[in-house]
């Protein structure tokens, strides 16, 4: 079951607060702790009215500052600086803090009001995608024809589906009552069956503003009637004609806009409000900066009931235009409207069906931002000690400083301490030797004699003598691997200046493989724009046999599961299904069958082409009955040539972040870097290694 629902719209004044209030009220009847989060708020008021309403009415024990990540101006500045990644990372961090504390969290999208509204829909889709949560989408029917309402719902739904964001329900709100049946019939025949549909008719009691909102919208000065600011305004009329004619234009809950020197209109309106023969007057706005003369004002003050009377500096025409543009919001000081919103939700939304969809929701895939956030949190669960043998490389030192600053791991850097200190000073890095960092010169370290003896004992049956052991332990890859073997470090990351074979060879000699594993292989975690895929093996085995390929697939699936990615294994080839023949295809076909025999619990298909593995449309065409085609998360390449070139092509052409190679199959984690690695590559690989070492 999902622990979160994202309420999103694609336009302003959609009435999504009705959904937010109704959903929070529903969940509070089933969960003890319900959180509320709004990633981006307008920021033009001391407190966001949506947040204030939810927190105060339901008395949620949430600090206001914890309920949002950015104001709209802050978000715009980040987007203009091409820093959307930072925005998403911060939203994920704040959301996760809430998610950990609450049984269920309601996330409400932005309001599309004010400058920068053009970016908001895409931002909302990206946030929902990166949080990995389902959406209830809301579309306003106000001022739209039936065809326009239907078209808008379908367009917004397709936008979410195109980004692989699951929509639980589509809500058409504020639909004119006479359109409701037609809108429902047309949408129900075009929406997917799994998407719940709700049509909420327009309700003037929710749609129209109160006199308090008129006052806030116009500004000006409140002369009288503060106690009646809760009056609802359903109509407005300009008082510019003679009183007898003017009285004919009064309607229920009318707002009267008139110059302040029209004492006859003011007194007539107030008397009409007291009369059983005329509709109720909601309030009066006096324009052009003029106010009633003293005798008129004294008369008004003596009346038993006085509606709110405001005085504004703007002219009558401008004031009436501004009144017509004021939209109502459900505010904390209007409990009647809040209760009406909740009742509206319960009346028009199939609550039971919505609950069933929330229970059955299964997230599909994981985004790069969420993946990296999750890795960081996992790495911090239990602090691990990682050795970095290549202390002579600036990238290693920069990554080490970042890891220590973020308090993620303990580190040992191998190299001459004086040279490492000089490099750190040159780079402007803070690398203080102490509790969390040691810098060791292998030959001069206290470990050296015992490591030499240990290596000699382990390898003398292979012809290694003590002199050879002393020489080997001078090599940083051997020394670092021995640290891991002896338990003086939990894992090792190397390869920035050494070859893959130089990094792996010592591990194979004395760390060795896990029981039941005969092949050490590798995976890359490919952080694509909207998902994370696992590529294996792209770094170690040049031309694996069918048996080795099956073992690589199983190890890759286990790595996928260990890092929170549901494995759906595609055994790649140049043909799909039974369409191809030849030794290469047959090897993949045989490997696929071996995986099914050895691990019947895993979802696997092959041989399958790359496009059929990852593209849902192509996958349905080529392998319509496959549970992997079109949604593969683990892609196993038939040989190193194919795998290495493909991962590099995908990385360069899409801008994907490739984390790895991550070695799998060893008793303790040793991971290899590319010699073209970046500081981020080193950082991410150390984090991965720390998590691997936690898992034993």
What tens digit of pLDDT does each residue of 449-467 get? 999 998 888 888 888 888 8
* Contact (Cβ atoms closer than 8 angstroms) between residue 427 and residue 394: yes
3-state secondary structure of 414: strand
Mean pLDDT of 105-123: 77
Strand locations in 194-329 (E): 196-201, 221-224, 235-238, 254-259, 281-287, 309-311
**392/435 Cα distance (integer angstroms):** 22
User: Which DSSP symbol is given to 166?
Assistant: P
Contacts of 398 (CB under 8 A, 6+ apart): 427, 429, 679, 682
List the Cα angle 19/22/23 in 5-degree steps. Answer: 80
> Looking at residue 298, what is its pLDDT?
82
* Contact (Cβ atoms closer than 8 angstroms) between residue 487 and residue 668: no
**404/165 Cα distance (integer angstroms):** 36
How many CB atoms lie under 10 A from the CB of residue 166?
20
Longest dimension (CA), the chain: 117
**154/139 Cα distance (integer angstroms):** 10
The secondary structure of 194-212 as a DSSP string is TSEEEEEE--HHHHSPBHH
- Confidence band (pLDDT; 50, 70, 90) for 268? confident
State yes or no: pLDDT of 580 exceeds 70: no
Max mean pLDDT range (366-380, 434-448, 650-664): 434-448
Cis upstream peptide for 537 (omega within 30°): yes
What tens digit of pLDDT does each residue of 47-90 get? 888 899 899 988 888 899 999 998 888 888 887 887 778 888 88
> Looking at residue 601, what is its pLDDT?
94
- Confidence band (pLDDT; 50, 70, 90) for 1? low
**332/586 Cα distance (integer angstroms):** 68
3-state secondary structure of 512: coil
Q: Model's pTM, two decimal places? A: 0.69
**685/387 Cα distance (integer angstroms):** 12
Q: Which residues pair with 41 in a beta bridge?
A: 71
**96/100 Cα distance (integer angstroms):** 6
Q: Which residue has the tokens 């092959």?
A: 606
Mean pLDDT of 104-109: 90
φ/ψ of 468, rounded to 5, equals: -65, -40
What tens digit of pLDDT does each residue of 518-558 get? 888 989 999 887 788 999 888 888 899 999 999 999 999 99
- Confidence band (pLDDT; 50, 70, 90) for 579? low
State yes or no: pLDDT of 188 exceeds 60: yes
**140/175 Cα distance (integer angstroms):** 7
Alpha-carbon distances of 288 from 5, 307, 406, rounded to whole Å:
48, 20, 60
* Contact (Cβ atoms closer than 8 angstroms) between residue 646 and residue 660: no
Cα–chain-centroid distance for residue 420? 39
**441/475 Cα distance (integer angstroms):** 10
> Looking at residue 116, what is its pLDDT?
59
> Looking at residue 291, what is its pLDDT?
82
* Contact (Cβ atoms closer than 8 angstroms) between residue 99 and residue 134: no
**Helices (H) and strands (E) in the chain — how many of each?**
28, 23
Reading the block at residue 374, the tokens are: 């999750």
Q: Which residues pair with 388 in a beta bridge?
A: 413
Reading the block at residue 398, the tokens are: 């920069």
* Contact (Cβ atoms closer than 8 angstroms) between residue 544 and residue 639: yes
State yes or no: pLDDT of 475 exceeds 80: yes
State yes or no: pLDDT of 117 exceeds 70: no
State yes or no: pLDDT of 590 exceeds 80: yes
Reading the block at residue 123, the tokens are: 């931002």
> Looking at residue 228, what is its pLDDT?
85
What's the length of the chain? Answer: 696
Sign of CA dihedral 424, 430, 432, 436: negative
Alpha helix (H) residue ranges in 382-430:
394-405, 417-427
* Contact (Cβ atoms closer than 8 angstroms) between residue 343 and residue 292: no
- The crossing angle, in degrees rounded to 10, of helices 294-301 and 263-274 is 10
């Amino acid at each position: 079951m999902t622990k979160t629902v994202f309420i999103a719209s694609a336009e302003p004044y959609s009435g999504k607060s009705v959904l937010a209030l109704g959903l929070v009220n529903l969940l509070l009847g089933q969960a003890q702790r319900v959180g509320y989060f709004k990633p981006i708020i307008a920021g033009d008021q001391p407190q966001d009215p949506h947040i204030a309403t939810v927190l105060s009415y339901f008395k949620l024990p949430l600090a206001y500052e914890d309920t949002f990540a950015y104001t709209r101006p802050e978000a715009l500045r980040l987007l203009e600086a091409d820093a959307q990644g930072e925005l998403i990372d911060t939203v994920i961090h704040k959301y996760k803090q809430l998610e950990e504390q609450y049984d269920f969290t309601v996330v409400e999208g932005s309001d599309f009001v004010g400058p920068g509204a053009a970016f908001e829909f895409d931002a909302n889709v990206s946030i929902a995608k990166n949080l990995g949560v389902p959406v209830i989408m809301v579309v306003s029917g106000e001022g739209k024809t039936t065809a326009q309402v239907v078209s808008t719902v379908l367009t917004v739904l397709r936008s979410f589906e195109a980004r692989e964001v699951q929509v639980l329900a589509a809500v058409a709100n504020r639909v004119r009552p006479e359109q409701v049946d037609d809108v429902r019939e047309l949408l129900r025949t075009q929406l997917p069956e799994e998407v719940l549909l709700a049509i909420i008719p327009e309700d003037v009691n929710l749609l129209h503003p109160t006199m308090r909102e008129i006052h806030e919208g116009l500004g000006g000065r409140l002369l009288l009637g503060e106690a009646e600011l809760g009056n609802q305004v359903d109509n407005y009329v300009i008082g510019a004609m003679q009183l007898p004619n003017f009285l004919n234009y009064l309607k229920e809950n009318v707002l009267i806009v008139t110059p302040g020197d029209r004492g006859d209109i003011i007194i007539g309106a107030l008397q009409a409000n007291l009369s059983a023969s005329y509709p109720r007057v909601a309030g009066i706005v006096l324009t052009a900066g003029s106010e009633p003369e003293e005798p008129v004002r004294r008369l008004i003050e003596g009346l038993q009931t006085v509606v709110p009377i405001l005085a504004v500096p703007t002219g009558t025409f401008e004031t009436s235009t501004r009144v017509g543009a004021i939209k109502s919001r459900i505010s904390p000081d209007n409990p009647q409207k809040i209760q009406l919103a909740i009742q509206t939700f319960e009346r028009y939304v199939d609550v039971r069906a919505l609950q069933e969809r929330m229970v059955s929701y299964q997230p599909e895939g994981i985004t790069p931002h969420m993946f990296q956030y999750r890795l960081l949190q996992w790495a911090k669960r239990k602090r691990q000690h990682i050795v970095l043998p290549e202390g002579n490389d600036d990238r290693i030192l920069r990554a080490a400083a970042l890891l220590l600053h973020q308090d993620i791991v303990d580190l040992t850097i191998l190299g001459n301490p004086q040279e490492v200190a000089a490099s750190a000073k040159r780079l402007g890095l803070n690398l203080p030797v102490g509790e969390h960092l040691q810098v060791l010169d292998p030959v001069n370290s206290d470990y050296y004699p015992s490591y030499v003896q240990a290596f000699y004992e382990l390898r003398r049956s292979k012809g290694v003598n003590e002199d050879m052991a002393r020489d080997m332990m001078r090599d940083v890859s051997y020394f670092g691997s021995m640290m891991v073997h002896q338990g003086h470090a939990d894992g090792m990351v190397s390869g920035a200046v050494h070859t893959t074979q130089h990094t792996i060879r010592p591990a194979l000699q004395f760390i060795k493989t896990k029981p039941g594993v005969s092949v050490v292989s590798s995976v890359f975690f490919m952080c694509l724009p909207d998902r994370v895929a696992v590529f294996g093996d792209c770094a170690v085995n040049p031309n694996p046999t069918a048996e080795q390929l099956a073992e690589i697939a199983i190890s890759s699936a286990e790595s996928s599961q260990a890092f929170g990615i549901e494995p759906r294994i595609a055994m790649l080839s140049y043909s799909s299904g039974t369409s191809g023949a030849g030794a290469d295809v047959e090897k993949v076909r045989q490997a696929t069958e071996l995986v099914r025999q050895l691990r019947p619990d895993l979802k696997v298909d092959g041989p399958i082409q790359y496009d059929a593995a990852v593209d849902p449309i192509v996958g349905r065409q080529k392998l319509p009955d496959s549970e992997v085609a079109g949604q593969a998360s683990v892609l196993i390449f038939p040989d190193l040539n194919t795998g290495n070139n493909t991962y590099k092509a995908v990385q360069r052409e899409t801008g994907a972040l490739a984390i790895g190679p991550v070695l799998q199959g060893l008793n303790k984690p040793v991971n290899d870097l590319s010699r073209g690695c970046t500081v981020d590559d080193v950082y991410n690989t150390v984090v991965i290694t720390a998590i691997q070492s936690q898992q034993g």
